[in-house]
Amino acid sequence: MAEDVSIHYNEIALKGRNRRDFEKLLDKEIYRTFHKRPEKIWGRLLLRGVDEKDTDRLALLPGIAWFGRTEIIERDLEKLKKAVKALEAQYGPMNIDVRRIDKSYEKTSLDIRNYLIKEVGGEESGQKVRIEIFKDNFTVNYDIERGIGGLPIDPKNKVLSLFSGGIDSSVVPFELMKRGMSVDLLHVHAFNDPDLALDSKIKGILERIKEVNDFKLYLVPFYVFSIKASAAPPRYELVLFKRFLLKLAERLANEMGYKAIATGDSLSQVASQTLDNLRAESSGVETLILRPFTTVNKEEIIKLAMRYGTYDLSIQPYKDCCSIVSKHPATNAKSEVIERLSKEIDLDRIVDESMKQMKVKEFSFD
């Protein structure tokens, strides 16, 4: 059944002169997803005629604080009471919240709330109903869901994110998009054919990401690095591989105009994620590196993965390249040692050869 949906934002409302620019970006996000334009009413957006089964798509769109199905009625208390009673009959006790947007209305928010509780009843633990008083009408919002907030995606803010298919790297794109970034992905795979990489768990993760925004996936084979780096001491192989990933991403960033590269690194989450190693692997990389999970606990990342719908997919078995390299990596690598080893294995040439083997896939929301 098609219904009207009220869409609310918070961080966009704090913007000054460029607030309208952010509102236009959010409008584009919604149009991309629903193929219809929302109406703007008193700093809210009203999307008419949305199929109930499609409403959940709003939960992942950056910039949306909360949304809910809405009924617009005349500014008449009897009709408001009737609407709330109808919801109570359907959902049970109501947790009533009233906001007076039009301050010229003679009754306060508390007056309206007390009136409705007296006439209909109400419980703090009940179904959340938010009533808003506008100049020409009341809106009754129900089936309220929280969005991810943040800011809508700006196509000019291009970021390249390293993607392994694990828990952390699968969540990073969502967190970046929530801060208004347009994200493409770089994936180094352990297959002879890049299509085999897509015939795995990562396909489901990529499908989930494209629900939020269109993106490119750069697929690079692991074997070029693996063969050339075999001469290096095994304990430094992982740090060298991470350095290879960053140098490869930097090359792509310079060629394709990305403003930053991003990783799912979290400090001390595993033995190799030390300050020394992070410093050594990123030495010589001039492109801005974003590490949104540096100080985030694993439990928090898992909660995000479950919310974004990637967790169950990301824990499925997969030939992750990081798991193929040395099982006992150095934990206090020095930048000068990694610099020397990079020259010995000719890391720049490895990047060159890997770029020649790269394939690009595009993902877009139908």
Residue numbering of the annotated binding site for ATP: 162-163, 242, 264, 273
Cβ contact 360:258 at 8 Å: no
Q: How far apart are CA 219 and CA 355, in angstroms?
A: 9
Residue numbering of the annotated binding site: 162-163, 242, 264, 273
Q: How far apart are CA 23 and CA 51, in angstroms?
A: 23
Cβ contact 298:242 at 8 Å: no
b/e code 255-293 from CB counts within 10 Å (16+ = b): eeebebbbbbbbeebeebbbeebbebbbbeeebebbbbb
Contacts of 354 (CB under 8 A, 6+ apart): 188, 220, 221, 224, 225, 244, 248
Q: How far apart are CA 136 and CA 74, in angstroms?
A: 7
Query: CA torsion sign, 10 to 14 to 16 to 18?
Result: negative
